[in-house]
Homo-oligomer: A and B are copies of this chain.
């Protein structure tokens, strides 16, 4: 069992840290919000009063909103690298830009710290149940060292390549998910505007080559216009920014991804930021002047 510093105890990080406590690890948690820290303590963890205190552990996990927060916490003054023991295993599980993960890994290497980028999918439910999918970039040795920790948090744990690769795979995941929601939404708009009941129609689509996990899990709630999150548009908007930044960095044009990002931006502009990403259906109905059912 390791001593694990866990920085960022939000919707995802909170239950992940609690699962590590339950698995027998000593968890030193840090979050700027007092109530998040209190939740960890009541789950049996310890509160680290600062990033520096959390960084004194054998393993440090960061689970933060976006690239600037990770840069600040890891590279900034009084940050993780400044206070790290040599040999520290630094696992960033936030979803951030791949080039930021590469820069962090390079800075970590200079300090004798092994860094992994290990973004997740599976959402709050997956975090609570410890069944996240974890996409890991970095040295294979560091990946093996971190595996016992990953096995507490996730069900699917895959080493996908060098530093940044985990983030690239997450970006690819998010562009496919966002685009699939938009396609299913357009199918529903076409069916309903043509006077076809989308229920049995989407059953047929779900059973054939058009089938997807999204059709399987979400077609009923979409047709019912239940847009309770789930995964919020605000977060997917951030992730589409990362996907497009990754494409720019890689020097490729991704037109479907660009359009998907704009539809998600439209969702946010219409005030749907706190709703589930399946609310793309509402955006596409608005586009054609259809009222919500």
Contacts and interface: CB of A to CB of B under 8 A. Distances in A.
Contact of A205 (B98, B169, B255): B169
B208 A213 contact: yes
Contact of A156 (B182, B208, B214): B208
Please give the count of copies of this chain that the complex contains. Answer: 2
A176 B256 contact: no
Q: How large is the interface on A (under 10, 10 to 19, 20 to 34, 35 or more residues)?
A: 35 or more
Given A160-B200, A168-B194, A256-B183, A210 B177 contact: yes
Interface stretch (A57-65, A221-229, A243-251): A243-251
The CB with the most chain B CB atoms within 10 A, among A133, A179, A253, is that of A179
Given A203-B158, A205-B172, A179 B121 contact: no
Nearest to A184: B176
A263 interface: yes
Contact of A259 (B180, B190, B207, B256): B256
Interface of A: 98, 121-122, 133, 135, 156, 158-162, 164-165, 168-169, 171-173, 175-177, 179-180, 182-184, 186-187, 189-191, 193-197, 200-201, 203-205, 207-215, 217, 243, 246-247, 249-257, 259-260, 263, 284, 287-288, 290
A252 B189 contact: yes
The CB with the most chain B CB atoms within 10 A, among A171, A180, A204, A213, is that of A204
Contacts of A247: 190, 193
Given A256-B260, A259-B256, A165 B194 contact: yes
A190 B246 contact: yes
B190 A250 contact: yes
Contacts of A190: 168, 171-172, 175, 243, 246-247, 250, 252, 254, 257
A210 B180 contact: yes
11 contacts: A135-B204, A159-B200, A171-B190, A172-B191, A176-B205, A176-B212, A176-B215, A179-B186, A179-B256, A190-B252, A211-B213
B204 A173 contact: yes
Contacts of A194: 98, 164-165, 168, 246, 249-250
